[in-house]
Amino acid sequence: MRYPRDLHGYGQTPPAAQWPDGARIAVQFVLNYEEGGENSVLHGDAASEAFLSEIVGAAQWPGQRHWNMESIYEYGARAGFWRLHRLLTGKAVPVTVYGVATALKRSPAQVAAMLDAGWEIASHGLKWVEHKDMGPDEERAAIAEAIRLHTLVTGEPPRGWYTGRCSANTIDLITEVGGFDYVSDAYSDDLPYWHEQGGRSQLVIPYTLDANDMRFATAQGFNSGHQFFSYLKDTFDVLYAEGLAGSPKMMSIGLHCRLAGRPGRAMALARFIDYVQSHEKVWIARRIDIAEHWAKTHPPKPVSDRPSQMAESAFVERFGGVFEHSDWIARRAWADELSPASDTPVGLHAALTFQFRAASDAERLGVLVAHPDLAGKLAQAKRLTASSTEEQASAGLDALTDEERARFTELNTAYVEKFGFPFIIAVRDNTKASILAAFETRIGNDRDTEFATACRQVERIAFLRLVSMLPG
């Protein structure tokens, strides 16, 4: 079974963004243009809009126009857009517009102003409506029509995509369509990443719902421009500090014409822009600029060698020997739940160790018994597995004196007679002297204690083997 969500991401050590000119942070302003594309019976929809307006908690009115809702959206197109346009162009801020295709078609003057300003116009879908209940074919058709209409209105097809009110299929469908430099229907990281579907790699540039003026239109949100500015400033400060410490990230700010375009909120936005521009080593970019940089600096990597994507035969062939001569552990792990989190040494070790720990005592004893004696007859006859050979050699067990070999033989014999399985220790963590000292100590344990100790050592050996087999 494959778990499709990626809860690991870049893990503890994200890649170096390498933003241009050594920038410590990439800051990106998005202006959502939805006015004229929202739910309305005038647009052939079943009910009025109820999302992201000054009417908090609004409900749809089936079969009716909602005059107040319509006029709030109209404010965004008639007044809010132009206020934000003056502010952003006046401060020379690069902008990406998420443009709903039907809204753009109804706003020719605003589109002309966007293009004259050099703003990127990405697609925000055909209409500003929910997609969660659309089947793949219906949504695929809506995507195609959005691209067609966007191209006719702006003069070129969109290079970026953000549905917003998306379905579980949206990113896969955008990947399937192809031709997009990025898709932003995700909120899962502070850096871009690659999404694979159907043999294609699609760049995802995550968006934001927290550093977003939409919080003015939600029950839990901003009540004043001061709150908006303070939250944006805190977000910037944390990310800027991380960049200063050597781990640059990306900050997205989401704006809406009918929300941030109101005077009291626009002032807070202006203060934040001034604050950002007062810092050195800040890259304010359009999303397409970030996409181009990331694709060049961090191109997609093949997925065929990722454990979570392997066929069972390939998985067992590669990892069946991680637990000595016990490929049943790999088979059970493959049949259980693998995900992108299993593609690192820590993650795959967790999946394999889970199966080892869940096994019966008899099965785990079988794993212990499968391990060779240290510096024993198999080693002398050069009949160890490649992993065991390298491990024993790393501690110098392939170069014992006659006296040392005799002592190991004596201890091996006594240990097996007492416990019924060979002495096991992660030799890569030890020296010849520390191994011999542990041998002398552990042979005095009772069987239960030593069984548990040996199992922990087996798990440690497996981890060290995976570290040498997989990238971190």
Catalytic residues: 371
Is the separation of the CB atoms in 244 and 82 below 8 Å? no
Alpha-carbon gap, residue 67 to 227, rounded angstroms: 30
Asked if 432 and 398 touch (Cβ cutoff 8 Å), the reply is no
Radius of gyration of the chain (CA): 30
Cα→Cα distances 244→10, 24, 191, 281, Å? 19, 6, 16, 9
- Comparing CA positions, the residue from 431, 413, 432, 430 lying closest to residue 422 is 413
Q: Which two tokens stand for residue 375?
A: 């510096």
Two tokens, residue 95: 């902008």
- Give the Å distances, CA to CA, from 429 to 67, 424, 434, 464: 73, 12, 9, 9
Alpha helices in 327-446 (DSSP H): 327-335, 345-358, 361-370, 377-380, 386-394, 402-419, 432-442
Q: Would residue 420 be called left, alpha or beta, if left means φ above 0 and alpha means ψ between -120 and 50 degrees? A: left
> In 76-126, where does DSSP find H-type helix?
81-90, 101-105, 108-116
DSSP single-letter state for residue 222: -
Give CA 337 to chain center in angstroms.
18
